[in-house]
Structure 1
Amino acid sequence: MHTVAVLAFDGISPFHLSVPTLVFGRIGAGRNNGDPGGPYEVEVCAEHPGTLRTPAGFDIQVRHGLEIFETADTIVIPSWISGTGISPELHAALHRAHARGARVAGLCLGAWAVAASGLADGRELTTHWSSADALARAYPAVRVRADTLWSDLGDVITSAGVAAALDCCLHLVRHDLGSRAATDLARALVTAPHRSGSQAQYIPVAVPDAADDDPIERAMLWARTHLGDAIDLDGWAAVALMSRRTFTRHFRERTGTSPQQWLLLQRADRARLLLETTADTVDRIATDTGFGTAVSLRHHFHRILGTSPAAHRALFRREDRVG
């Protein structure tokens, strides 16, 4: 059982609080009709338990205090008050938990609390783009990113706001339980199963009303169905009825990344799913996902996901057996 402690505070937005409790709580309640025995146990706590006000016109009641941090595997700070630090008590509790191996996640403005803790000093974190400059000025020891959806340092995870917080929590589920569990959960939540943390927070081009008339969306769908093929940029651009240069520019405007990098992420994600759900050899998966060779697959898989295909398969083999 993986225990998730979610930190609430007086004035917290119910929406921000609901993101981690919904994602981990839905998995933790069991996969089938709320049956017990899921992999996560979620507890909401507060530095000062009791009645907490919200800006939504209702109060919430929190029973647990910071003692929950002592046994939590993951601590989530789903929001914070911009421009404020943390108390010595919260600082000490976070450091004790982190020192024994708990991972700390700051979602949206929760990055303020993470920065104030010092756990990200000399490292980078992500926060909502509107707060990034102020956070960087307040904590110059931290490199603040406003151009990514989320960042995962292993022990410290931070994200931008609102939908990006969902993406970040789904990323943690994917890390813990595999692609299949994360995809099933995303389907239940009616949200995208995976958005890379490197994707831009704000893309200045609106998504077209009619997806069928969007050449970039058409090209992306085509690529996803041809991952095992050799996809050259000129041929891919032709699917969108564009020149290579125009296609590359519109693709970056739409996704915040280059076509080649997006394609690598799609192939790595497909390889991850095949490793978790099939007994295919690494060579076969490399061919089916367009990496060509096992050497190429191992190189890109490790660069993108930080582990080897064999290690990833071994990690989720037990989950597949019990699933």
Structure 2
Amino acid sequence: MSALTVAVVITPGFSPFHFSVPCILFGNAMPDPQLFNVEICAEQAGTVLSDIGLSMNVEHGLERLAVADIVIVPFWHNPDERPAQALLDALTHAWQRGAEVVGLCLGTYVLAYAGLLDHHRAATHWEYERDFSARFPAVHLDSNSLYTCDERLITSAGTAAGIDCCLNIIRQHYGAAVANRVARRMVVPPYREGGQAQFIERPLPENTRDAKINALMDYLRRNLDQPHDLDSLARFVNMSRRTLTRHFLKATGTSLGEWLNAERLQRSQELLETTDNSIESVAAMAGFQSPISFRQSFKARFGVSPSEWRRTFRGPAQVALEHA
């Protein structure tokens, strides 16, 4: 079996970390150097400067994309800037002739600018989710997955998710055994549970322009562990149920029930990360009716269980101590 050619596209202002991920995984970390042949390409051969002042002398131009089996754009320095048309055309032609085209982190923007991702699933860094969706409405953005694969168009979420994505490409071509050996050499898990939704910050409004709604929100935050119903909360602010519902939606952009559930989930995250309380205690302290409803809500929102969240953000050693 001949080696697969991987063309890694380096662009001005590149990130050394993002650039190194495919170069290492398909290069030095491979147990068999004959499986992949990595070539560094740029729009024009010559010196390319990184975002921190490092430079790379590149031998190949975009002509190598015409023969590569896998083309990877590991980064893009500015989502507002449209890449050069020569690069977009080269990526399009590579995909049309059967190559896999990969965008890691903000490299997804380059594929989107080329029009390749229209009507396809894609992932990018969660911080750019709103910008990406507004800029490329025809792309089906997956805001939870660490990486996506859709008709030889492969994209990853932010930063370290590029490692997961490249490991999956290796797994698809040469099987789990080879991918696992590469992961061991990199000292990373061969497959990560969960998705980028675990890391997304979705801040809730602290205050609004409505004084009564602010007072209600403060009251609820102080009493998350207590049961609440719309009638009692309406009495608290001297409104009817309908008026409270309308005012709360106008002030916060969300319903009272959705806001309260989000606050309880956020509180449960804090408790899981900073205390040794059992899952049952966390559920009660955050105001969920039962541990079962807590686990269901947590899993639906973050894609992992409360115990998995705790392991991710506290580490397995700390979790083991809690159960010793």
Same fold by TM (over 0.5)?
yes
Q: Is the 8 A contact 1:208 1:214 kept in 2?
A: no
Partner of 2:303: 256
Alpha-carbon spacing, 1:98–1:196, altered in 2? closer, same or farther (3 Å) = farther
Report the equivalent of 2:135: 138
Query: Does the Cα contact within 8 Å between 2:126 and 2:200 map onto a contact in 1?
Result: no
Amino acid at match of 1:4: V
Partner of 2:54: 58
Confirm or deny: 8 A CA contact 2:6 2:39 kept in the other structure: yes
- Given residue 161 of structure 1, which amino acid in structure 2 is its aligned partner? G
What secondary structure is seen at the aligned counterpart in 2 of 1:127?
coil
Q: Is residue 108 from structure 1 mapped to residue 105 from structure 2 by the alignment?
A: yes
Q: 2:183 and 2:196 mapped to 1: Cα distance?
A: 18
Distance in 2 between residues matched to 1:7 and 1:137, nearest whole Å: 26
Normalised by the length of structure 2, the TM-score is 0.63
Distance 1:48 1:214, change over 3 A: farther
In structure 2, the partner of 1:72 is 68
Secondary structure at the aligned position of 1:98 is classed as helix
Match of 1:245 in 2: 293
Unaligned runs of 5+ in 2: 202-268, 280-289, 307-324
Q: Hey, which bits of structure 1, 4+ residues long, moved more than 4 A? A: 196-199, 206-210, 213-216, 249-253
Q: Aligned residue for 1:168? A: 165
Q: How does 1:5-24 map to 2 (within 5 A)?
A: 5-24=7-26
Cα deviation, residue 243, structure 1: 3.9
CA distance in 1, matches of 2:40, 2:194: 26
**Distance in 2 between the 1:22 and 1:215 partners?**
41
Residue 153 of structure 2 corresponds to which residue in structure 1?
Answer: 156
Residue pair 2:295, 2:305 contacting (<8 A) in 1 also: no
Structure-1 separation of matches of 2:8 and 2:27: 11
How far did residue 124 of structure 1 move? 2.3
Q: Deviation string for 1:20-56 (max 9, x for gaps)? A: 111111355x44xxxx4x2111111100221111122
CA shift digits 1:69-102 (9 cap, x unpaired): 0110000000112222222211221121111100
How many angstroms apart in 1 are the aligned matches of 2:90 and 2:80? 21
Larger-gyration structure (1/2): 2
Change (3 A) 1:215 1:44: farther
Offset, 1:244: 3.1
- Asked whether the 8 Å contact 2:298–2:305 carries over to 1, the reply is no
CA contact (8 A) 2:197 2:303 kept: yes
Letter in 1 for 2:115: G
Give unpaired runs (5+ residues) of structure 1.
217-241, 260-323
Q: Hey, what's the Cα distance between the residues in 2 that align with 1:52 and 1:98?
A: 25
Code of the residue aligned with 1:65 in structure 2: it is: G
Task: Give identity over the alignment, percent.
Answer: 38
The count of residues paired between Structure 1 and Structure 2 equals 225
Which of 182, 185, 191 does residue 188 from structure 1 map onto? 185
Query: TM-score, structure 1 length as denominator?
Result: 0.63
Which residue identity lines up with residue 5 of structure 2 in the other structure?
Answer: T
8 Å contact 1:149–1:196 — kept in the other structure?
A: no
Q: Given the superposition, is the C-alpha separation of residues 24 and 201 from structure 1 closer, same or farther in structure 2, using an over 3 Å criterion? A: farther
Paired residue type of 1:15: F
User: Once the two structures are superposed, what CA deviation does each residue of 1:201-259 show, in whole Å capped at 9, x if it has no partner?
Assistant: 5266478589xx6978xxxxxxxxxxxxxxxxxxxxxxxxx943344445556x62469
> What are the equivalent positions in structure 2 for 1:212-251 lying under 5 Å apart?
243-250=291-298
Q: Which amino acid aligns with 2:111?
A: V
